[in-house]
Chain A
Amino acid sequence: ELKVEQNPLFLSMQEGKNYTIYCNYSTTSDRLYWYRQDPGKSLESLFVLLSNGAVKQEGRLMASLDTKARLSTLHITAAVHDLSATYFCAVAPRLRSARQLTFGSGTQLTVLP
């Protein structure tokens, strides 16, 4: 069974600081997704990482994938209040019989002034 662990689960950070959210998974995969969820809203796609070493950046967020370590990171640079949200990673197992993604528990990020 594929397990996806995110840490930390809760993160408070000051505006202007940098931090990294980690997503570890337990089985072979080469597709990983990051989503953002604002309070009371649904999930929006942020990044798709499709190969080892993939790096994607948008604004103050940068995501990377290391398939050998089974690890993805979401790095936040110079945080601003607008980044406050819950961030989920989701992994597609390499087994083609599995049709669904497995989601991490989410990291609730609060950016403080």
Chain B
Amino acid sequence: DVKVTQSSRYLVKRTGEKVFLECVQDMDHENMFWYRQDPGLGLRLIYFSYDVKMKEKGDIPEGYSVSREKKERFSLILESASTNQTSMYLCASSRGWGYGYTFGSGTRLTVV
């Protein structure tokens, strides 16, 4: 089975800190995605990547950046964390166009 591993299950950070959320997949998938999930708002796409060093903005990229230096790793960076970035963050990967996603276990981030 494909595994998508997110480095932290729970994270508490202070306002203004730079925060790194890491995601690693082990099945050579082309595409990787970062979503945030908030009650009543469903899944919202932040960024995705379809190749090493390639990235595209999703629906809510403001306040975030990403890095994909190796195919298996996709990092989400909060440049200066704010309380409105408190959320559940989900990483996913897929083999390619149109294929289903495998999700990581999620990181619940609290910014205080």
Residues of chain A touching chain B, judged by Cβ–Cβ distance below 8 Å, are: 31, 33, 35, 40-45, 48, 88, 90, 92, 96, 98-101, 103-106
Of the listed residues B48, B58, B103, the one surrounded by the most CB atoms of chain A closer than 10 A to its CB is B103
Q: Smallest CB-CB separation from A92: which chain B residue? A: B98
A96 and B97 within 8 A (CB): yes
For residue A89, give the distance in angstroms from its CB to the closest CB of chain B.
Answer: 11
For residue A17, give the distance in angstroms from its CB to the closest CB of chain B.
Answer: 26
The 6 closest A-B pairs by CB, nearest first: A92-B98, A42-B106, A105-B42, A43-B103, A42-B103, A33-B100
For residue B44, give the distance in angstroms from its CB to the closest CB of chain A.
Answer: 9
Count how many chain B residues have C-beta atoms less than 8 Å from C-beta atoms of the other chain.
Answer: 24
Which residues of B, 78-112, contact A by the 8 Å Cβ criterion?
90, 92, 94, 96-106, 108
Instruction: List the A side residues contacting B96 at CB < 8 Å.
Output: 99
CA distance A35 to B42 in the complex (A): 13
- The reply on B43 being an interface residue by CB < 8 A is yes
Residues of chain B touching chain A, judged by Cβ–Cβ distance below 8 Å, are: 31, 33, 42-43, 45, 48, 50, 56, 58, 90, 92, 94, 96-106, 108
A90-B48 contact in complex given A41-B105, A42-B106, A100-B33, C-beta closer than 8 Å: no
CA distance A92 to B97 in the complex (A): 8
CA distance A88 to B108 in the complex (A): 20
B43 and A99 within 8 A (CB): no
Instruction: List the B side residues contacting A101 at CB < 8 Å.
Output: 94, 100-101
CA distance A35 to B101 in the complex (A): 10
Q: Which of A35, A88, A99 contacts B97 (CB 8 A)?
A: A99
Instruction: List the B side residues contacting A103 at CB < 8 Å.
Output: 42-43
For residue A100, give the distance in angstroms from its CB to the closest CB of chain B.
Answer: 6
CA distance A43 to B33 in the complex (A): 13
